[in-house]
Amino acid sequence: MKAIRKSARFSAIRILWAVSLSLLLATSLMLFGCGNQANSDGNSSADATDAADESPKESRGELRWGSSAEIDSLDPYLAVGGDTKGILFNIFEGLVKSDSNGDMKPALAESFDIQEEGKVYVLQLRKGVKFHNGAEVTPADVRYSFDQALNGSAVYASFEQVEKVDVSDDGVVTITLVEPNTEFLTALTNPIIPADYTDQATQPVGTGPFKFESYTPQQELVLVAHDDYWQEGLPYLDKVTIVYGADTNATVLSLQSGNIDGTGIAASDAATLDLSAYNIVERNSNAVQQLALNNSYEPLSKVQVRQALNYAIDVDEIIDKAFQGYGTPVGTPIIPGLSKYYDSSLTKAYPTDVEKAKQLLAEAGYPDGFDLEITVPSNYVVHVDTAQVIVNQLAAVGINATIKQVDWPTWLEDVYAGRNYQATVISVGGASLSPAAELARYRSTAEDNFYNFNSAAFDAKYAEAVAAIDDTSKIALYKQAQQIISDEAANVYLQDIAGLSAVSKDFDGLVGYPLYGVIDFSLVKKVS
């Protein structure tokens, strides 16, 4: 009896050993298989696509693009994030479309005409354009699409200016605004989608150069060429796969391992990547990075204190230390991209001057400086890095600044909506690319005036500028409005951050767009 029990136990241990050994064997086999698997897998999938494409037409290749920002919706009338819109740019098109200079070009409209000094926009629908589902774009589709923009969509806020939209049966689109706005063309990029098609969120259908194939959250989004695309010869590629990584660290690793061909990178990556294998593409982010100040918080409510901060902070050093030299210094809320209205002279309004800063602080009653908490959204490494440089610079004038990192939802709720902060580093753009949109939040009554900026002179100047019809006086008024903001030192304006991408030298034609996160895959070519 005893012996039996003993041997039973003994064999239990034996089995454990045997299992362990066989598992060890299995894993080591896996290890070996791993190398082969990875190679053969890479080859076989490449072979498969080659074989599939050879018969109908010449293979034009696949681009694998890494991204750490997931799309928020595939439905273009629900999508809001810059990165999402940047991807959807390839699937959907509006009546007009931005080119790589930011100029509006006819797209699904073959022509446009601005009448009555910007009150009426008349466009002629292009004929023979096909949706990804094969159907032709009809005036009814245009009518339906504008209905989406006018009602219910939380995304197309600028359509509040529209009085009515008429679409005739022969494809003439007439848009009448409540009041003239010569910049409204930028809003007409709203996508044209098939009438009464309700599956956009899962199976989007547009007219863009690429059509949607599949989306697996946190893994990949696959786009394939739209063969009936209205622009002859485009796109150059057969397939674009957006590969999602958890963060830029993961996507940069993925890039270096050859799993992806290109991805957005940080400036420090640009300094450390092997530049013989990648091209670095630079574009503007079209938002102004700033040390935003709560103008109603005690020391910051004094204009001398805010000016002192402006003198204390050296933007060139920030760009040099935290951005490896990439970036455009800016001294106003308006981005350099809006070159007509942008006042470049304001960049030098507050040259770095430690003594002057100290003197201003003393005048304001803070000869020994003060404590300042800079709240920074932790998901934006660029802002955290910038804040680190700023902390050092402020220490030189006696201001004891500390960083408080919060997550993005907290930042939006507490800092942005709640205005419960002292200072924060953030990039600010406008709801649309226009001086009116970018300056609107400085009005003392604006609900998104999270700076608590309050200047009657600015309010008056802004109203005047928006109402102005004559282009030269409009430009002059907007520049005067910027001057008021600069004199008041509402915030410390830093730079238009350079958006950097690294692309394998096997690809050509990736250009930076002066629009949110647009990556125009239709112009990308594979070079052998």
Partner 1 sequence: MALVATIAGLSLLSLAYTPYPSEMMIDKSQFLAPSLSHPLGTDSFGRDVFSRIMVGGRYTLLVAASTVLGSALIGSVIGLTIGYIGGLLSDVVMRIMDALSAFPGILLALIMMAVLPTSDYTIILALLILFVPGYTRIMRSSMLQYRNLDFVDSAKIMGAGSVRIIIRQILPNLLPVLLSALVIGFSNAILAEAAMSYLGFGIQPPAPSWGRMLAESQNYLFNAPWCSIAPGLVIITTVSGFHFLGEGIRKRFC
Partner 2 sequence: MSFIVKRLLISLVTLILVSLLVFAAFAILPGDPARVILGQDANEAQVAALRAQLGLDQPLPAQYLQWLTGFLSGDAGTSIKYKLPINLMVASYIPVTATLAAMAIILMLLIALPTALLAARFPDSWIDRLISTLATVFISIPGFFLGVLLIWVFGLGLHLFVAGKYISYETSIAGFIVYLFWPALAIAVPCAGMACKYLRDSLMQQLTSDYIRTARSKGNTPGRVLRVHALKNAIIPAMTILGMIIGDIFAGSIIIEAVFSVPGIGRLLVSSISYRDFPMVQTLVMYIAVVIVLANTLVDVGIKVIDPRVRLQ
- The single-letter DSSP state of residue 3 is H
Residue 54 touches which of partner 1, partner 2, none (Cβ within 5-8 Å per kind): none
Give least dist CB 489 to partner 1, A: 25
- The single-letter DSSP state of residue 286 is E
**N-terminal to C-terminal alpha carbon distance within the chain:** 77
Give least dist CB 389 to partner 1, A: 7
- Measured CA distances, 239 to 56, 205, 225, 226, 248 (Å): 15, 16, 6, 10, 23
Residue 81 touches which of partner 2, partner 1, none (Cβ within 5-8 Å per kind): partner 2
Residue 164 touches which of partner 1, partner 2, none (Cβ within 5-8 Å per kind): none
User: Which CB sits closer to partner 2, 219 or 392?
Assistant: 219
- Measured CA distances, 281 to 178, 220, 263, 264 (Å): 40, 23, 10, 9
Stretch that binds partner 1, among 26-34, 78-86, 353-361, 387-395 (CB under 8 A): 387-395
Backbone torsions φ then ψ of 390, nearest 5 degrees:
-60, -40
User: Which CB sits closer to partner 1, 40 or 272?
Assistant: 272
**E runs forming strands in 320-379:** 328-329, 371-377
Q: Is 147 in the site for partner 2 (CB under 8 A)?
A: no
Tell me which H or E stretch contains 22: helix 2-54
User: Which CB sits closer to partner 1, 404 or 505?
Assistant: 404
Stretch that binds partner 2, among 31-39, 52-60, 322-330, 498-506 (CB under 8 A): 31-39
**Between residue 237 and residue 256, which ones bind partner 2 under the rule CB under 8 A?**
243-247, 249-251, 253-254, 256
What is the x/- site pattern for partner 2, positions 148-187, by CB under 8 A?
A: ------x--x------------------------------
Stretch that binds partner 1, among 56-64, 306-314, 403-411, 422-430 (CB under 8 A): 403-411
Q: Is 46 in the site for partner 2 (CB under 8 A)?
A: no
To the nearest 10°, report the CA torsion of 76, 78, 81, 84.
-30
Residue 22 touches which of partner 2, partner 1, none (Cβ within 5-8 Å per kind): none
Q: What six digits make up the tokens of 173?
A: 């689109």
Tell me which H or E stretch contains 291: strand 278-293
SS (H, E, C) 411-469: HHHHHHHCCCCCEEEEEECCCCCCHHHHHHHHCCCCCCCCCCCCCHHHHHHHHHHHHCC
Backbone torsions φ then ψ of 485, nearest 5 degrees:
-60, -40
Stretch that binds partner 1, among 29-37, 144-152, 320-328, 334-342 (CB under 8 A): 320-328
Whether the CB-CB separation of 464 and 456 falls below 8 Å is answered with no
- The single-letter DSSP state of residue 301 is G
With CB under 8 A as the contact rule, the residue among 256, 279, 359, 449 that binds partner 1 is 256
**E runs forming strands in 187-276:** 210-216, 220-225, 239-244, 262-265
Give least dist CB 426 to partner 2, A: 8
With CB under 8 A as the contact rule, the residue among 59, 186, 259, 324 that binds partner 1 is 324
Q: Is 387 in the site for partner 1 (CB under 8 A)?
A: yes
With CB under 8 A as the contact rule, the residue among 124, 405, 480, 483 that binds partner 1 is 405
Query: How many Cβ atoms are within 10 Å of 385's Cβ, its own excluded?
Result: 19
| Burial (0-12, 13-18, 19+ Cβ within 10 Å), 342 | buried
Q: Is 259 in the site for partner 1 (CB under 8 A)?
A: no
Residue 254 touches which of partner 2, partner 1, none (Cβ within 5-8 Å per kind): partner 2
Distance of CA 464 to the CA centre of its chain: 31
With CB under 8 A as the contact rule, the residue among 209, 327, 336, 429 that binds partner 2 is 429
- The single-letter DSSP state of residue 191 is P
| Burial (0-12, 13-18, 19+ Cβ within 10 Å), 446 | middle
Residue 24 touches which of partner 1, partner 2, none (Cβ within 5-8 Å per kind): partner 2
Tell me which H or E stretch contains 62: strand 62-67
Query: How many Cβ atoms are within 10 Å of 68's Cβ, its own excluded?
Result: 18
Overall residue count recorded for the chain in this entry: 528
User: Which CB sits closer to partner 2, 85 or 119?
Assistant: 85
The count of chain residues that interact with partner 1, using the rule CB under 8 A, is 34
Residue 124 touches which of partner 2, partner 1, none (Cβ within 5-8 Å per kind): none
User: Which CB sits closer to partner 2, 83 or 343?
Assistant: 83
Whether the CB-CB separation of 171 and 94 falls below 8 Å is answered with no
Residue 408 touches which of partner 2, partner 1, none (Cβ within 5-8 Å per kind): partner 2
Return residues touching partner 2 (CB under 8 A).
Answer: 6, 9-10, 13, 16, 20, 23-24, 27, 30-31, 33-35, 37-39, 41-42, 66, 70, 72-73, 80-82, 154, 157, 201, 216-219, 243-247, 249-251, 253-254, 256-260, 379, 407-410, 412-414, 416-418, 426, 428-431, 447-448
Return residues touching partner 1 (CB under 8 A).
Answer: 248-249, 252-253, 256, 266, 268-269, 271-274, 317, 320-322, 324, 373, 378-379, 384-385, 387-389, 391-392, 402-407, 410
